[in-house]
Amino acid sequence: MSKKVYFVSDFHLGVDALQTSLEREKKIIRWMDDMQDDMSELYLVGDVFDHWFEYKKVVPKGYVRLLGKLAEMRDDGIPISFFTGNHDMWMFRYFEDEFGIPIIRQPITKQIGNKTFLIGHGDGLGPADYGYKCIKSIFNNKICQSAFGALHPTIGLGLMKYFSVKSRQYTGDEDPFSDPNKEWLVVFAEAELKKTNIDYFIFGHRHLPIDYTLSNKKSRYINLGEWMYASSYGVFDGNDMQLKFYHSEYDHVYGI
């Protein structure tokens, strides 16, 4: 594999953090520019936007730099896959129709080179968190989506922003990675390994850069981290998967 496969998640564009959302978007574009010549494929693994609802004729304003860059990369022949996260699960056909970027709503298993990957945002996987799983089923219900789509965009997108804020308040600060038995995505990955062989479990959602070797001593759970503070991403060179940081003072990878 002469070029590399890139994985990134949790931009959370639309909310300010260490930088404003616009500053972070510009940084993301610089990262894409720097990696593009070396990139064979790009996986956007959820929560690219902090809130999003896609009406039939309306999408949220802004993000023109990111959308333009994705269009350029697709025109350059780079395959891009977009996994919905818990903040942007209401993506529908806009990215598919405008950019030829498939929207993926569930984890997938895929062979890349001679390695097997399981890729997904990670929300709602593993044990517990039944409250969120119930809310997710409601938000994914087509009747509920149609009812929400009947609202004027000013009201609907305002509610989306409100729900996103509430979601962050509910999850709070990220707990440190310490006990793998309490890490839901580790528990999920261990259960999957009993059914099939996976080399790399690639997730976002956790907001911590994590590279953890599972109980079989060869498969790895890798969490891509986020871009509000860490600016972390994953890259597969055909032989090995690594977590890296882009112009970031944060350089700690948990689990290794």
- Strands 232-236 and 241-245, bridge-based pairing: antiparallel
pLDDT in tens, 155-187: 766 766 666 665 555 554 567 888 898 899 999
pLDDT of 40 > 70? The answer is yes
The Cα 22–Cα 13 span in angstroms is: 8
pLDDT of 59 > 90? The answer is no
The Cα 45–Cα 48 span in angstroms is: 8
Span 81-104, average pLDDT = 91
| Nearest partner of 27 among 44, 13, 41, 6, judged by Cα | 13
The Cα 65–Cα 28 span in angstroms is: 9
What's the whole-number average pLDDT of the chain? Answer: 88
CA atoms within 13 A on the CB side of 240: 5
DSSP conformational letter for 176: P
Give helix then strand counts, H and E, for the chain.
Answer: 7, 11
Q: Which residues pair with 116 in a beta bridge?
A: 111
* Cα torsion 115, 112, 210, 168: sign: negative
| Nearest partner of 254 among 218, 209, 221, 217, judged by Cα | 209
pLDDT band per the 50, 70, 90 thresholds, residue 134:
low
CB neighbour list of residue 252: distance below 8 Å, 6 or more residues apart: 209
What pLDDT is stored for residue 174 in this prediction?
67
Q: Tell me which CATH code domain 4-245 carries.
A: 3.60.21.10
0.85 exceeded by the pTM? yes
Alpha carbon 231 to chain centroid, angstroms: 13
pLDDT band per the 50, 70, 90 thresholds, residue 239:
very high
pLDDT band per the 50, 70, 90 thresholds, residue 131:
low
- Strands 115-119 and 220-224, bridge-based pairing: unpaired
